[in-house]
Amino acid sequence: MHATLIKEIEENIKKGKRSQKFSLDQPNIGTGEKTRLYRLMYEHGPGNGKMMFLPIDQGLEHGPVDFFPNPAAADFEFQLALADEGKYSAVVCHIGLAEKHMHKWAGKVPLVLKINGKTVIPPDDEAFSPLDATVEDAVRLGADAVGYTLFVGSPRQDEDFAQFLQVKTEARAFGIPIIVWAYPRGVYAKQAGGIDSLAMVDYAARVANELGAHIVKLNLPKDPKGGSYPEGRFKQYDQFVGEAEEKQLERVIESAGRTGVLVSGGSRMDNEALLKKVEDCMAAGADGLIFGRNMWQRPYEEAVKMSHKIFDIMSKY
């Protein structure tokens, strides 16, 4: 009865194409959510459905040390000016910065409000990110999305799932989309190949899809530490060891299903490597990129120029 549908799915997989694509016309996206996502995907940033975010949540998550390479970046006005001139889809920050700075930039620079967070001081073996703001705060501040960090595989994962359910229920009621920072964490993820291994990042993508995220933010997957996976459930991922990063990312995007995929920029890298990462992620089918330290750890004019180069690459897809 459905042979044509199944054949199409199988053919797309053989060709390395994304069989399930993120779309604003999906039935899980309500009117309010669609309106806000449209602003992020078409009215700001590259404007072709791709998203380009500038986060500053590292001040909470990593501490002031991240601003040592460029002390001016400790002032959120630096990132807001960069987001405006660099043509970003939105900035990402926690509530304190949003309340103190966004009024001046309201309507010019879209906001994604991170509503949970933690410091880097405790170890990540039992990682959990408690709420520090509400969905209602995000709506009050004019945000176009809320950001939620979910630690997949942490021993406190059950608390995380329950907290996320609360956030998702509130976000649905207010018509605001959720972007999930899906990060494998904890001793078990480390033992299963490493927190950034393909097996763990792939699992994180599927979890975000299953739990109802509109968009998921993920790290670029890597080969496991030591070059192979330990015996057990994830040993099957050995068949993908040595694949190009772009190919591994394609697998992760497939696991994300009809959830949009943002790829994290990570720590500072040189210009050539950074631009190659943008090209590879776009070619793999990512829906956007999120660059923080790679941008605001640079002097302002250099950061603007690099942002425009990234913008130009993303505009082609």
Domain ranges within the chain, ordered by starting residue: 20-315
* Whether pLDDT at 27 is above 80: yes
Predicted local distance difference test score (pLDDT) of residue 225: 86
What is the average pLDDT across 259-269?
93
Predicted local distance difference test score (pLDDT) of residue 9: 82
Predicted local distance difference test score (pLDDT) of residue 16: 67
Q: Name the architecture of domain 20-315.
A: Alpha-Beta Barrel (3.20)
Higher pLDDT, 169 or 16: 169
15: left (phi over 0), alpha (psi -120 to 50) or beta: alpha
Confidence of residue 8 (pLDDT cuts 50, 70, 90): confident
| Window from 6-15, 52-61, 63-72 with minimum mean pLDDT | 6-15
* Whether pLDDT at 68 is above 70: yes
* Whether pLDDT at 1 is above 80: no
Each residue's pLDDT tens digit, 229-255: 999 999 999 999 999 999 999 999 999
**Nearest Cα to Cα of residue 224 among 248, 246, 205:** 248
Each residue's pLDDT tens digit, 110-169: 999 999 999 999 988 889 999 999 999 999 999 999 999 999 999 999 999 999 999 999
Name the average pLDDT for the chain. 95
Each residue's pLDDT tens digit, 180-210: 999 999 999 999 999 999 999 999 999 999 9
- What single-letter amino acid sits at 171? A
Q: Strand locations in the chain, DSSP E?
A: 51-55, 90-93, 111-114, 145-152, 178-184, 215-218, 260-264, 288-290
* Whether pLDDT at 104 is above 90: yes
Catalytic positions are: 183, 217
Q: How far apart, in Å, are the Cα atoms of 130 and each of 93, 95, 169? A: 15, 13, 17
* Whether pLDDT at 5 is above 90: no
Predicted local distance difference test score (pLDDT) of residue 20: 83
Cα separation, 310 vs 315, in Å, equals 9
Each residue's pLDDT tens digit, 265-304: 988 899 999 999 999 999 999 999 999 999 999 999 999 9
Predicted local distance difference test score (pLDDT) of residue 266: 84
Percent of the chain with pLDDT over 70: 99
Predicted local distance difference test score (pLDDT) of residue 80: 98
Predicted local distance difference test score (pLDDT) of residue 128: 97
